[in-house]
Structure 1
Amino acid sequence: MTDTSIEITVLPSLAQIDAADWDACACPEAADGGPPADPFTTHRFLRALEESGSVGPGSGWQPQYLIARAGGQVIACAPLYAKGHSQGEYIFDHNWAHAWERAGGNYYPKLQMAVPFTPASGRRFLLRPGQEEVGIQALIQGAVQLTEQNDLSSLHITFCTEAEREVGADLGLMARSSQQYHWFNDGYAGFDDFLAALSSRKRKTIRKERAQAQGFGGDIRSYTGDSLRPEHWDAFWRFYQDTGARKWGSPYLTRQFFDLVQRDMRDDVLLVLAERDGVPVAGALNFIGRDVLYGRYWGCTEHHPMLHFELCYYQAIDHAIARGLGRVEAGAQGDHKLARGYLPVTCHSLHHIPNEGFARAVAQFLEAEARAIEEDIEVLTAYGPFRRDKVEEQE
């Protein structure tokens, strides 16, 4: 049980909480002046989504930020949203929604504790140091009560950490597994050092792909911090619109979001552009964490063979090695990442469904799904691109 002296409130806007109070829970490690472990749960990132209209009225993502206070001090918070659909989540529950509605219920709105449009694992329960145990219990209890008191179908906490999954499961939430591909830095001195860990065939293939991509007829340049200019975002917006229209029907993010990133987060991003005659023709946007480079968006106005792999995967590896980062997360799905050195990993989510009958059916599904994912990861890792001796080391 949580301490009765803890006050739980719901805020419809981050404008109602000081950035320092939120970030004291979201990224206390950044107090030393370094980057946050997770740029996506910072006040500046979530506020940019809100200010730009990417979330809020008309988006299907209505902020319901959960705040826990003790003695007037913010001790924990969480990015929580009332959802009117299941888009932009990357942990799919469409079949759950269809089953619930076929039974005569309303699946939406539901509650989603997540970073909108961002399939990157990280803490969802943001806790002030020293308040971890009481803070996470307060947030879970508060989210569950909010779900049940408003007669909502469900609560979903997606892309949480493994530690959060364990605590949530102990407190009665249902745990779910999913899969992504991440690249891991095994202390590589450079890209060639990474290639040396691969099988001969994969090594040759990657070298051929890089040579083909880099021969597109222009230059590949990277921008971060003060080297970023508004014209770079103009170009990337064109790329993002094209990709968004093809994948989702309409882009999730508004143009203003990128202006706010330029204003408030340019040190948190790495923009890789392919430029021909000084004009960007393709680009990949990454966000920089303390130990992780997060690949987020890609797009182009010209198609060149292998350029997608170069900008999104190989350039990300180059930069992660150069910065001494431990991992690259390249986003959702994509079995093609395996051949390029990205290994399958398990991602975690937590769920609460008040209806006992429906919860039992979902729990059975989650058990079967978890077994299948575990088997897939085992097989994919064994048949990955690394030399046999490297696979044995990883095991």
Structure 2
Amino acid sequence: MTIAFELTDDLSSIPPNEWQALSGQQPFTQHAFLLALQSSACIGPSTGWHGRHLLLRRDGRLAGAMPMYLKTHSQGEYVFDHGWAHAFERHGLAYYPKLVSAIPFSPVPGPRLLASTHEDRVLLAKYAAHLTRQQGLSSLHVLFPCESDRQALDEAGFMMREDIQFHWQNQSYHDFEDFLSRLNQKTRKKLRQDSKKVAQAGVTFRWLEGKQIDQADLAFFYHCYADTYLVRGRHPYLNLDFFQRLLRDMPEALFIVQAWRNEKPIACALSLRDKQTLYGRYWGSTEFVPGLHFETCYMQAIAYCISQGLLRFEGGAQGEHKLSRGMMPIRTHSAHWIAHPAYAKAIQDFLQRETTAVGQYMNALQEHSPFRRADAD
């Protein structure tokens, strides 16, 4: 059997059905999602995300793939390595460009080594590290890999890093009130008060799924989303063309919460979903209403998950405030291969100490569970 590797910067050159046979059901690894990023120019030479997708073929058949990018910065990754870059620069070494296997602008745990066997996942990881060294690059970083990928990356000699996100888990709740009843009295009272204040401000909510979303809905969402960047003097990572392509090519993955007041929309949150999980992603508003962000992005999302029987709601990166909305801390991971032996050793030492600190932080968060003690246990 002949095994061959190749690189491509153009996902349109890969038949979607071949990619889909490896990628699973998560929306962020879908061929359509990654191609939308490329075709809308959200990634590309002008953005510092240069496609370097790694393909593994067995006798000409696509047996593995690794979405990968050559990066000239660390923006849009949500795994912060600026300190490592500064250390390289202080000693006259180039940290950039580097290779990154990730879903651009999406801190969502999931598959990164797209293959059906552990053997092929290890082959992808080892060849990507070999490629990093061969091309004279400083490092290779695999961000938010799933458990099966972590096992392969560990076997391939990568160093592991831990962080924390906050996810909501559906404990077979009958309805939203059932969920609230499982929270401790202080948290339950606060959430009900917050929801009441938003309602008293005259705000109502609408849910839109898939083909219920039209171009006007999408345009309003994008206006809200872009404004969250522009008010900080930054340009948004994603453009309207990207979201229009998602609506055209994978509408079943889109879910929008609209907040209305005085017969007009004033806020919007767009999430992606699959058969088990809702992934909270993008939000913005045209008016300030106290508590509107939490109600639109989190409480409406949780209510939707319960109504649809979804198992999880992933609320994105960071945010201790999510704990008080019934979202519990979970560990996330990244894997790192550093070409320079001395810096690899120094970073390994740092990661060991950081992992201890993350564990301590996790324990502290769990001690402040918003659930009643019996339900928290």
Length-normalised TM-score, structure 2: 0.97
- Distance in 1 of aligned mates of 2:182 and 2:242: 39
- In the TM superposition, what is the alpha-carbon distance from 1:382 to its structure 2 partner? 1.4
1:32 counterpart residue number: none
Q: Distance in 2 between matches of 1:137 and 1:99?
A: 30
Unpaired runs of 5+ in structure 1? 28-35
Partner of 1:58, secondary structure, is helix
Q: Paired residue for 1:5?
A: 2
Question: Could you give the per-residue CA deviations for residues 1-41 of structure 1, whole angstroms, max 9, x where no partner exists?
Answer: xxx821111111101100000010002xxxxxxxx2x1000
Q: Is the 8 A contact 2:118 2:152 kept in 1?
A: no
The answer for the alignment partner of 2:36 in structure 1 is 48
Instruction: Check if 1:347 corresponds to 2:332.
Output: yes
Identity of aligned residues (%): 40
- Residue 194 of structure 1 aligns with which residue? 179
Higher alpha-carbon deviation: 53-62 or 239-248: 239-248
Equivalent of 2:157 in 172, 181, 191:
172
Give the conservation status (yes or no) of the 8 Å contact 1:316–1:328. yes
CA distance in structure 2 between the partners assigned to 1:267 and 1:172 by the alignment: 38
What corresponds to 1:25 in structure 2? 22
How far the C-alpha of 1:375 sits from its partner, in A, is 1.1
Q: How does 1:302-313 map to 2 (within 5 A)?
A: 302-313=287-298
State the match for 1:120 in structure 2: 108
Cα deviation for residue 247 of structure 1 reads 5.5
The residue matched to 2:144 in structure 1 has which SS? strand
TM-aligned CA deviation for residue 163 of structure 1? 3.0
| Aligned residues between the structures | 377
State how far apart, in whole Å, the 2-side matches of 1:169 and 1:133 are.
12
Name the counterpart of 1:279: 264
Runs (5+) with no aligned partner, structure 2: none
Select the residue among 244, 250, 267 that pairs with 2:229: 244
Query: Offset at 1:254?
Result: 1.4
Distance in 2, Cα, partners of 1:168 & 1:20 = 26
Partner of residue 97, structure 1: 85
Structure 1 partner of 2:12: 15
Structure 1 contact 281–302 (Cα < 8 Å) conserved: yes
Report the secondary structure of 2:195's partner residue: helix
Helix, strand or coil for the counterpart of 1:303? Answer: coil
Q: Distance in 1 between matches of 2:204 and 2:198?
A: 10
1:76 aligned residue (35, 56, 64) = 64
Cα distance per residue 1:78-123 (max 9 Å; x no partner): 1100001000000000000000111101111100000000011001
Q: What displacement does 1:290 show?
A: 2.1
C-alpha distance in structure 2 between counterparts of 1:362 and 1:41, whole Å: 29
CA distance in 1, matches of 2:218, 2:56: 37
Post-superposition offset of 1:59: 0.6
> How big is the shift at 1:259?
1.2
Per-residue CA deviations over 1:271-303 (Å, capped at 9, x if unaligned) read 111123443211111000221100001101101
Q: How do 1:353-368 and structure 2 match up within 5 A?
A: 353-368=338-353
Distance (Å, rounded) in 2 between the aligned partners of 1:214 and 1:172: 53
Letter in 2 for 1:280: P
Answer whether contact 1:214 1:220 (CA < 8 A) is retained.
Answer: no
- With over 3 angstroms needed to count, the CA separation of the structure-2 counterparts of 1:48 and 1:99, relative to structure 1, is same
Distance 1:95 1:192 in 2: 45
**Displacement after TM superposition at 1:162 (Å):** 2.7
Q: CA–CA distance in 2 between the matches of 1:332 and 1:103? A: 31
